[in-house]
Amino acid sequence: MRKRFLVAFVIAVVAVCIAPISVSATTTYTGTLADHATYRIDVPSNWNHTLLLYSHGYVTPGSANPARDVGDPATGAFLLNAGYALAGSSYASTGWALEQAIPDQIATLDAFNALHIGTPTRTIAWGHSLGGIITAGLLQTYPDRFDAALPMCGVLAGGVAVWNEGLDAEFVIKTLLAPTSNLQLVRITNPGANFGLSNQILAAAQGTAQGRARLALAAAVGDLPGWFNSSLPEPAATDYVTQEANQFRWISEVDGPFLFYLRAELEARAGGNPSWNTGVNYSQQLGRSIDNAEVQALYQQAGFSLDADLAALRDADRVSADPAAVHYLTQHIVFNGDLGGKPVLTIHTTGDGLVLNSDEQAYRSVAQDAKDSQLLREAFVHRAGHCTFTPAETIAALQALETRLNTGKWELKRRRSGIGPERGAAVLHRFRTGAIPAPIRYRNELVTS
């Protein structure tokens, strides 16, 4: 029987108006940390003694990496005008930078204190995407430095799980679409060439009915959504053609660079391959996938056997991990569910194909194991895209978290006022997910059989 989780929601329309704001009398401090990371701190003249420590997302190696203390200018202007101080660092490296990011963010708090501006009465960690996992990691490793946390679109299943989940899709792609190719799933030696080859394989597959069905299967083992463009409505539940086309875009345009190129950056950090699929039953995984009906329909339309492909996956040689690399990724980071006695609100879009909203289930699961789930609430915005929140939704989440700090209660009810239509608003709802996302590899269990 398919297992389902009902996640109580949240975000509503908040009583704020985010119009263009002219922020005056804000002092900006910049500097360099001991490991050469840079930081930025903005303090308004009307500081309310709340400090927001922002953790930014993944930066591709070779790209510019400035210090950032907020996710977007509109949100930053609103918060400064409302009296919040903002802080954040660049981290000393790009890529999967958790090893550097967490200490650099703590060093940024120390730099704030060294400015003798005043002592914050409240410090809240928040961040997007990779910054979401960093935010949760900060709370897990330095709980005494924070009063609350707001991970947004965060990698909250933890490093081991999300890279394992990516390997599942990679494995289906190579095994069924290019079994004799030189495509490397792990231990990637030439990232550029590997990524180029993956693009060729994916493009060729999308051109045939058989290839599209197999791409849908690759999407299904990772529960990829069938919705890609936030400016378009979500495809109908049985519009499998459009769903698969959207999943192809997620795989080829967004996930593929991480799976077939940027995985090499992680492997260099970890000293080997931290991912494995030994012991994974892909038939069972498909059976509990939110995309199961789509896969069944597309295989039937293509006129060939899904059972034969599942048998091929069953019989194919599996990928084993390097234990030392698993240890590295566990340290940077896997969650133990201990929220440090501090409230945490997470927010996620329902149609995120890069960092799946099912990551929230994994985070809640370990929080329940640690008896801390009463401190955790999860909000979902019904929209496609990764981190595609409006400024209004971001402020709504922050205000909901502050209400919890002020009252000791979660009051996640609809509040409405004049938010301009161009700013958008979240819809209050309860969000039912599909399946348990991926095998139970959210724990640090190295399967060897």
pLDDT digits (tens, 9 = 90+) for 5-52: 333 334 444 445 555 555 569 999 999 999 999 999 999 999 999 999
How far, rounded to the nearest angstrom, does the alpha carbon of residue 170 sit from its chain's CA centroid?
19
pLDDT value, residue 10: 40
Measured CA to CA, the distance from residue 68 to residue 40 in angstroms comes to 6
Cβ distance 153 to 386 under 8 Å? yes
* pLDDT score, position 310: 99
Distance (Å, whole) CA 313 – CA 316: 5
pLDDT above 70: residue 442: no
**Amino acid residing at 443:** R
Nearest Cα to Cα of residue 188 among 81, 277, 101, 261: 261
Q: Express as a percent the part of the chain with pLDDT over 70.
A: 86
For the purposes of burial, counting CB atoms within 10 Å of the CB of 245, is it exposed (0-12), middle (13-18) or buried (19 or more)? Answer: middle
In this prediction, residues 326-351 reach a mean pLDDT of 96
Residue 333 preceded by cis peptide, ω within 30: yes
Strand-pair category, 38-44 with 85-89: antiparallel
> How many C-beta atoms surround the C-beta of residue 20 within 10 A?
9
Query: Could you give the CA distance from residue 213 to residue 231 in angstroms, rounded to a whole number?
Result: 26
pLDDT digit string, tens, across residues 92-119: 999 999 999 999 999 999 999 999 999 9
Bridge partner residues of 85 (DSSP): 51
Task: Let me know: does 89 contact 106? Beta carbons within 8 Å.
Answer: no
Q: What is the pLDDT of residue 371?
A: 84
Question: Please, which pLDDT band fits residue 435 given cuts at 50, 70 and 90?
Answer: very low
What would the pLDDT profile of 369-385 be if each residue is shown by its tens digit?
888 789 999 999 999 99
pTM score: 0.90
Helix (H, G, I), strand (E, B) or coil at 329: helix
Fold of 6-158+333-432: Rossmann fold (3.40.50)
Reply yes or no on whether the pLDDT at 419 is more than 80: no
Assigned token pair, 231: 């400016």
Q: Residue 248 pLDDT > 70, yes or no?
A: yes
Three-state SS for 377-409 is EEEEEEEECCCCCCHHHHHHHHHHHHHHHHHCC
DSSP reduced 3-state for 281: coil
CA 313/CA 48 separation, integer angstroms:
57
Of the candidates 28, 20, 122, the residue with the CA atom closest to the CA atom of residue 77: 20
Direct distance between the N- and C-terminal alpha carbons of the chain, in angstroms, rounded to an integer: 25
Asked if 368 contacts 362 with a C-beta cutoff of 8 angstroms, the reply is no
C-alpha separations of 96 from 100, 329, 342, 435 in Å: 9, 10, 26, 27
Taking CA atoms, 68 is separated from 47, 76, 150, 236, in Å, by 19, 10, 16, 39
Mean pLDDT across 134-144: 98
Return the beta strands (E) in 37-106 as ranges.
38-44, 50-55, 85-89
Residues contacting residue 119 through CB under 8 Å, at least 6 positions apart: 49, 113
What pLDDT score does 427 carry?
36
Annotated domain spans of the chain: 6-158+333-432, 161-322
pLDDT for res 434: 31
Specify the pLDDT at position 423: 42
Q: Which residues contact 59 (CB under 8 A, 6 or more apart)?
A: 65, 91, 94, 95, 97
Give the contacts of 237 (CB within 8 A, at least 6 positions apart).
none
Instruction: Please state, in angstroms and rounded to a whole number, the distance separating the CA atoms of residues 403 and 210.
Output: 52
Six token digits for residue 173: 């792609």
Return the closest-CA partner of residue 432 out of 91, 33, 5: 5
The letter for the amino acid at 175 is T
Q: What are the beta bridge partners of residue 122?
A: 50
**No. of helices (H) and no. of strands (E), the chain:** 15, 10
